[in-house]
Amino acid sequence: MKPAVLLVVALAVGAGAAPASKPAGPSLPGEAVELKTVDGWTLKAMFAPSVPGKLTLLLLHGTGQRKEDWKRLAFPLTRAGYGVMAVDLRGHGESRVSPSGETLTWKKLRATRTANDFAEMSRDAEAAVGWLAGQGVPEDSIGLIGSEVGGSIAIRYAATHQKVPLVVMLSPGMRWQEVLTPNALRALKRPIPTPVLMVYSEADKRTAKEVPILYAFAKSAVGDRHATLITVPQERGTLMFRAQRALVGQVIDWLSDPIAPEAPAVSTEALTGGTTSMDNSRMRGPDKTLIDDTGTPPPSIEPDDGGDD
């Protein structure tokens, strides 16, 4: 075949070929690691180290979810210098082989007051913190961020581990999967308070009813300066990051400054200038509740007396 004919054939083949697909990006930052719990579970996780001086955040997902559900938060956290470990909790994602060797999904986990496999996920958090400590990460630099039942596990872990520097609870509830939280919040009342951030959606009727009560417990335990509440319009858990993109920035801002400044002393001098803040969406009211862009704080809901366990 002549060279000119070969060129025509090559061009024709190239024109008919499908364009190469763009390779998919990583689902989470960092490297895959394996954790062992004291009761025999093998857990899969992803870990990205922090820059010097920054916290490492342990990310605990909700029921039926997996570590990849933290993607919208995990990448911005690492870009801000934070370390991140996202874990597939027992019965979820790639962590489905039980200590007996049986494949056990979250749908088969027990959630009763007498036998609760979800409450045992505190051991998953312990395994993650233990692994991080083995890598030289100081325990007092490991914060916890949990979604729904993951938030319940996070606050219960913090209640019994005083070195936890802070906790973020997305869509917290009184008893996700029968894992109770009020007493854990009360247990945070100690000489060095643990800052707590709660985030919930007004459209989620269950958490919209329960969070104000839990927030009152938190303020009673750690004080107004160490308790923060953010309200968004819709969705639940990690899905709130998709519905409210500014939420990621608000959470990262709080991580860098989780304790509100002391209220200024009353002055008789004339006020000058305007209100200053990081941005309009993060202005704080007297109780450190975040005020929305209109400058109007969300309505307060007085807790009832029936919030006890």
The pair phi, psi for residue 20, each rounded to 5°, is: -65, 135
CA 296 from centre of chain:
26
Band of residue 23 on the pLDDT scale cut at 50, 70, 90: low
What pLDDT, on the 0 to 100 scale, is given for residue 113? 82
42 part of a folded domain: yes
How confident is the model over 95-132, as pLDDT tens digits? Answer: 999 998 889 999 999 898 889 999 999 999 999 999 99
292 part of a folded domain: no
What pLDDT, on the 0 to 100 scale, is given for residue 252? 98
Per-residue pLDDT at 2 exceeds 60: no
Query: Six-digit token pair at 17?
Result: 């070929």
Band of residue 262 on the pLDDT scale cut at 50, 70, 90: confident
Band of residue 22 on the pLDDT scale cut at 50, 70, 90: low
Distances (CA, A) of 111 to 65, 119, 152, 280: 16, 8, 13, 42
How confident is the model over 144-182, as pLDDT tens digits? Answer: 999 999 999 999 999 999 999 999 999 999 999 999 999
Higher pLDDT, 294 or 67: 67
Contact by Cβ (8 Å): 298, 232: no
Band of residue 21 on the pLDDT scale cut at 50, 70, 90: low
- Please count the other Cβ atoms lying within 10 Å of the Cβ belonging to residue 115: 11
Q: List the single range of 90-94, 173-177, 237-241, 277-281 with lowest mean pLDDT.
A: 277-281
66 part of a folded domain: yes
71 part of a folded domain: yes
Q: How many residues in total does the chain contain?
A: 309
What pLDDT, on the 0 to 100 scale, is given for residue 266? 59
What pLDDT, on the 0 to 100 scale, is given for residue 275? 33
299 part of a folded domain: no
294 part of a folded domain: no
How confident is the model over 242-260, as pLDDT tens digits? Answer: 999 899 999 999 999 999 9
The number of distinct structural domains making up the chain is 1
227 part of a folded domain: yes
Share of the chain above pLDDT 90, in %: 72
Domain that holds residue 119: 32-259
What is the domain-level CATH number for residue 171? 3.40.50.1820
- In the DSSP assignment, the letter for residue 16 is H
Share of the chain above pLDDT 70, in %: 77
Contact by Cβ (8 Å): 84, 59: yes
What pLDDT, on the 0 to 100 scale, is given for residue 309? 38
What pLDDT, on the 0 to 100 scale, is given for residue 20? 54
Q: Give, in degrees to the nearest 5, the angle at Cα 232 between 231 and 234.
A: 135
Per-residue pLDDT at 10 exceeds 80: no
What pLDDT, on the 0 to 100 scale, is given for residue 263? 75
Q: Give the chain's mean pLDDT.
A: 84
237 part of a folded domain: yes
What pLDDT, on the 0 to 100 scale, is given for residue 271? 44
How confident is the model over 74-87, as pLDDT tens digits? Answer: 999 999 999 999 99
